[in-house]
Amino acid sequence: MHSLSSKQLARKEKKKKKLAALASLVKSNDQDRIEEIMTERTIEPSQDNGAENDDGFTKVTHKKKQGKKKADSSNVDEPIVKKQKTSETLSDATDSEEMLKLNLTEDQYKLLKKELRERKRALESVPYLRLREAGEKALLIVDEAQRQPLFLTDIQHLVMAALLGRKSPCKPERWCFFDKPDSLSHTVVVCLDGLSLFHYLSNKGKFQKLDNIFESSLEVIMPQNVKEDGFVMAEELIQVPMTNVQAFEYVKTHGSLEAAIELNKDPTLIIKSIFPVENKEVVQDLHPNDKFPRTKLLLSALQMIEEGYPMPLRGELSKQYNSYMLTRKQYAPVTNRSPLFGVDCEMCHTSSGVNELTRISIVNENLETVYESMVRPDNKIIDYLTQFSGITAEMMRTVTKRLSEVQHEVRDILPDDAILVGQSLNCDLNAMRMMHPYCIDTSVCFNLSGVRKSKARLQKLAFEFLKETIQEHASGHDSTEDSISCLKLVKLKLANSLEFGDEVLIQKKRLQDIMLAASGEAVRNNMLAHASKRDRHTAIITSKPLPSIVQNLIEKAEQAFPDNAVKPVRVDEVNSNKEAVRKCREIALENALTICNLHFTPEDMLASTFEGTVENINKWVAKIWKSMAHKGLLVVLMGGAKECSTGMANIAIKRNVADVASDHHLTI
């Protein structure tokens, strides 16, 4: 065997020194991070119920941008732990200089290389969350005038991703970066029904345990809590496929999970908390001409935000829309028989630097024009944009009607449950400077490319599906013609199926059909890769009886695979919140998802009893956190109350001190 040349030996020694320097840097960073954790955070010993971490301690995240917190001196049973020892190899050198001076032997070099490689592999398996811009704007530390709340749908997407991993059709990427969800050990969602953001902010200093566990608190718009069953928030979360078998059944029935979620969602749930919608029960029978519920085509509150629809929200967006008018002072709940109205507007460019409304057309479901008007902009027209708008100087010569008049006339024409239909309808509503809760956008529910963000023009959609040629007049567009085309497209879709005209859903269904033909088990495993060998189960624990809609969902899950020895969804109805917490701690490790619903009555919120309520919440959440396993996700939601539909979300992933010391990313 040839001996190494001098150059090869030099390169070898250089590699050793680089590795030693890297190890020194890692050790220094780890030491600094551990010291920071020990001084800034309360570290609690884990219980002996299987939740103990590798180092025997759990990490409690700190408050970002809110200053350092002192340990709670009253918690005498929760001492600050001493520094943990690092590995023997790294402890051979007591500081950076000694490590750099160390001449590694070949065996030391190999061992150190192996340890760093294992350390990197361990870090790569640790899940974590990082807020994106939309999440940062929802933080309670943001001034109320600038804050933009999240929706419960955003939290639902997080739970879906935690349950189904990277194969989830719903991801929380709008507001956070969720890395390695497949590595989660389990997820626990604690729903505090009856508590709102008002209760938290007005008693902020009293929720000490929550503040110790969770780094960030986020404002969330919740569904209106008008029911007495105390299950509104958990009910919405449960609308996602809860288990493999239920998701598999959805795929068989609807072609894809995406289609199933669209058909099983209530897009108006959060809308009712934003717009003034009357609270009353409605009959949701199908329209005689429709094959599926027309309400399933409505944009959700989340979609309206993403598509730029004006909405009466608080915070930063309220400034943008403070001059807008609602299309009705009060709305009735939308139903599957609510009337459709096509809307299209034409605009001209004015001296204000933007396009302003100059013509509006509204057509009813029978394709009859119910409103048509020219509008004189408040500012001088400098470009009529005739090739697009069809508006000329001659047409505008005698027009005197102003936007404010049009707004009031539109209010008088539209019924209180009207569904507006249009192509990129957000542009028309912004031109009208009006806000409406029930909208169907043909640019969203039709798709030709298979890419959700790529939208086809109305002219192309009309030619493709209606076999009609529009927008080819030499004089420009015709707003009445465009309104009619949008209505025709929606009515055609309603006469077929949810996936009709939507290449995104069609491709998903086509893929599932191919996989199902090859092997039914392949569909199950491919769609839900996180549990290819065994089904991951869901547990629901509640101190109130389950509402019928939740019971129906559970029955569907059980019917999907009746031969299963273990039920896919476990339900525990207990007698008190205290018993619900005890049961949650007992069974959480056995399930992929555990939803613990705690119900608080108005009596619990009285001044004479509220201090005890807060004390219980602090104690119960802390106990659930202690009993959770390493890499477990805990979500605590305050679901709002009748007088305040705004709630909040707290989110944390349980991790080792070693994980935190080595991680360059903050955990929420």
Q: Where are the domains of the chain?
A: 128-196+213-240+526-597+619-661, 246-510
Second CATH level (architecture) for the domain 246-510:
2-Layer Sandwich (3.30)
Tell me the C-alpha distance between 493 and 444, whole Å: 13
CA 212 to each of CA 77, 118, 218, 565, 591: distance values in angstroms, whole numbers, following the listed order:
15, 31, 15, 41, 26
Q: What is the DSSP letter of 204?
A: G
Alpha carbons 580 and 576: distance in angstroms, whole number:
6
Q: Give the pLDDT confidence score for residue 275 in this predicted structure.
A: 92
* Mean pLDDT score, 451-468: 93
In this structure, the chain runs to a length of 668
Tell me the three-class secondary structure of 220-250, residue by residue.
Answer: EECCCCCCCCCCHHHHHHCCCCCCHHHHHHH
> What per-residue string of b and e applies to 540-563 under the rule 16 or more CB within 10 Å gives b?
bbbbbebbeebeebbebbeebbee
pLDDT digits (tens, 9 = 90+) for 230-283: 556 676 676 665 555 556 566 666 666 666 666 666 777 788 888 999 988 788
Establish how many alpha carbons lie within 13 A of residue 157's alpha carbon, considering only the half-sphere containing its beta carbon. Answer: 17
Q: What is the mean pLDDT of residues 205-217?
A: 87
| Residue 50 pLDDT > 50 | no
> Cβ distance 539 to 593 under 8 Å?
yes
Where is average pLDDT lowest: 250-259, 527-536, 576-585, 634-643?
A: 527-536
Question: Which of 64-68, 88-92, 196-200 is predicted with the least confidence, judged by mean pLDDT?
Answer: 64-68
> What average pLDDT does the structure give for the chain?
78
Contacts of 131 by beta carbon, 8 Å cutoff, 6+ apart: 139, 175, 176, 177, 216, 668
Residue 439 per-residue DSSP state:
E
- On the question of pLDDT at 93 being above 80, the answer is no
pLDDT of residue 643: 65
